Amino acid sequence: MSGFHWDYEVFLFLGTCLTLLAWLVSRHKKWRKSEHQTVRTLASVGNFFPLLLLVLSVRSFAFEPFRIPSSSMMPTLLTGDFIYVDKTAYGLKMPVFHNTLMETGQPQRGDVFVFRSVEDPSEDIIKRVIGVPGDHIRYDERSKQLYVNGELLDAQYVGPYTGFHDDIDPRGLNMKNASTGGVAHHILQANGVRRPFAHTDLIVPEGHYFGMGDNRDYSKDSRVYGLIPEKNIVGQAKFIWMHWRPSAFLEGFKRIGQTL
């Protein structure tokens, strides 16, 4: 089944369906006053239905917490950041099958968004929207320059990166000011690091998006695995609501509340 994979949402959906069935059976007029152990068990199971329905509704249609798993979005997001993902930003989608029930908006260039991996749908990934349907995207591997519809997205040098780091060597990392779709943000580029990419010159078709990490030389993104289908999109990252990293607790605490 296309787009289907076993994950927490699937088990939550199945649990909601099963408790609903137990609730309906236990309240059928034939069984309502029965003291049979099976009916009592079904009634107990059915009592969980309202709670599971609430959790499923909030998680599927409103918001979902997300923990940053890697350094690919440095310096905007760091490993240990917990972010709020607005699932209403790009449309209300059916749980499990992810068909759009109601359009509420489309990803825009510069948005930070979460989506299910095109390689492993059980994995959620976060990147920045670089290309929307109709855009011509070109990334020059030699100069590390990015062009959208023939226009260079220039990045102004700020200085050596001196912030947090985890699973990468910060030596040689340079921070630059960039602007994508009118959204100002920082990117990182590494001296002496050059990577070949499979997708560096393409036109984004309808229903797809091109995403890149702000840590440009240490990000596996659309340059590697290609375009992101609209159906895979989970929602828009809005702000950091918690940071947890014991090695830098006080510094991380200051990140709470930062908007994206």
Q: What integer pLDDT is reported at residue 60 of this predicted model? A: 59
DSSP assignment of the chain: -TT---SHHHHHHHHHHHHHHHHHHHTSTTTTT---HHHHHHHHHHTTHHHHHHHHHHHHHTEEEEE--SSTTTTTS-TTEEEEEETTTT-EE-TTT--EEE------TT-EEEEE-SS-TTSEEEEEEEE-TT-EEEEETTTTEEEETTEE--EEEEEE--S--SSS--TTEEEEEEEETTEEEEEEEETT-----S-SEEEPPTTEEEEE-SBGGG--SHHHH--EEGGGEEEEEEEEEEE--GGGHHHHHTTTT-B-
Structure confidence at residue 8 as a pLDDT band (50, 70, 90) = low
Element (H, E) at 196: none
**Taking 70 as the threshold, does the pLDDT of residue 2 lie above it?**
no
The more confident residue out of 95 and 203 is 203
Pick the more confident residue, 37 or 188.
188
6 compared with 129, residue with greater pLDDT = 129
Which of 87, 93, 127, 176 is catalytic? The answer is 127
Instruction: Please name the CATH architecture into which domain 62-253 falls.
Output: Ribbon (2.10)
- pLDDT tens, position by position, 24-79: 887 776 666 666 777 778 778 888 888 877 776 666 565 777 888 888 999 999 98
Told to judge if 57 belongs to the known catalytic residues of this protein, a careful annotator would answer no
Catalytic residue among 26, 72, 219, 222: 72
Has 29 been annotated as catalytic?
A: no
Listed by start position, the domains of the chain span 8-59, 62-253
